[in-house]
């Protein structure tokens, strides 16, 4: 069938040749336009396109509101929770030191050691907060506590004095960091 179509078509003469026998002196390219025309969207399609754009914009604005709400409402609450937790940890360290001082006043060295058993870890959790107040104090407090605990069995009277000084430093830290 393709052969019949080829036979039915007349011979086309190439421009610039005489009777198709001579080659052209200046070849010209013949371009054909294969541009496909787009059909215009219907009225319903235009409506749905606009509605989709508005829905996307509305969703973006909604998500921006959620993110803003999170940072304005919940982020300050998280900061307040962290501050309260640190304050409670400091108060627990003060209770441990007071219990150790009370045990030493009744000559109970083992009770004082037991009272200070978890204090080192609690104090380590507070070191970054204390460093905001006084960096040298933050570095010396855990070392001082270790010396107090190790000296409880050797010299309880010196440990009492050291615990009193340690307690005063804790009160000074509390006043500086947590009193508003």
Is residue 87 assigned to a domain?
Answer: yes
- The string of pLDDT tens digits covering residues 103-161 is 999 999 999 999 999 999 999 999 999 998 889 999 999 999 999 999 998 999 999 99
Domain encompassing residue 105: 83-178
Would you say the C-alpha torsion 143, 96, 162, 152 has a positive or negative sign? Answer: negative
Residue 69 to residue 71: CA distance in whole angstroms: 6
Per the confidence metrics, is the pTM higher than 0.85? no
Instruction: Give the model's pLDDT for residue 99.
Output: 96
Residue 37 lies in a domain: no
> Do the domain assignments include residue 41?
no
Q: What is the tally of structural domains in the chain? A: 1
Give the model's pLDDT for residue 5: 52
Residue 5 belongs to some domain of the structure = no
CA dist 146 → 6, 106, 122, 136 (Å) = 104, 22, 13, 16
And the tokens for 118? Answer: 């978890």
Helix axes 75-105, 156-178, angle to 10 degrees: 160
In a domain, 124, yes or no: yes
Residue from 173, 178, 175 nearest 84 by CA: 178
Q: What does the pLDDT average to over 48-70?
A: 95
| Contact by Cβ (8 Å): 104, 159 | yes
The answer to whether residue 33 sits within a structural domain is: no
Give 33's DSSP letter: -
* CATH classification of the domain holding 149: 1.20.120
pLDDT band, very low/low/confident/very high, at 75 (cuts 50, 70, 90): confident
Asked if 162 and 148 touch (Cβ cutoff 8 Å), the reply is yes
């Amino acid at each position: 069938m393709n052969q019949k179509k080829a036979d039915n078509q007349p011979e086309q003469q190439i421009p610039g040749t005489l009777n198709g026998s001579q080659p052209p002196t200046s070849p010209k390219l013949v371009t054909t336009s294969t541009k496909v025309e787009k059909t215009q969207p219907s009225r319903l399609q235009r409506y749905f396109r606009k509605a989709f754009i508005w829905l996307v914009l509305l969703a973006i604005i909604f998500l921006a509101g959620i993110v803003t709400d999170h940072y304005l409402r919940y982020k300050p609450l998280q900061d307040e929770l962290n501050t309260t937790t640190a304050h409670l940890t400091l108060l627990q360290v003060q209770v441990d030191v007071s219990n150790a001082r009370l045990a030493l006043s009744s000559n109970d060295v083992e009770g004082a050691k037991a009272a200070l058993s978890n204090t080192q870890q609690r104090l380590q959790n507070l070191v970054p907060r204390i460093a905001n107040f006084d960096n040298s104090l933050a570095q010396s407090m855990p070392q001082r506590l270790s010396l107090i605990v190790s000296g409880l069995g050797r010299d309880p009277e010196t440990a009492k004095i050291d615990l009193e000084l340690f307690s005063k430093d804790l009160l000074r830290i509390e006043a500086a960091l947590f009193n508003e």
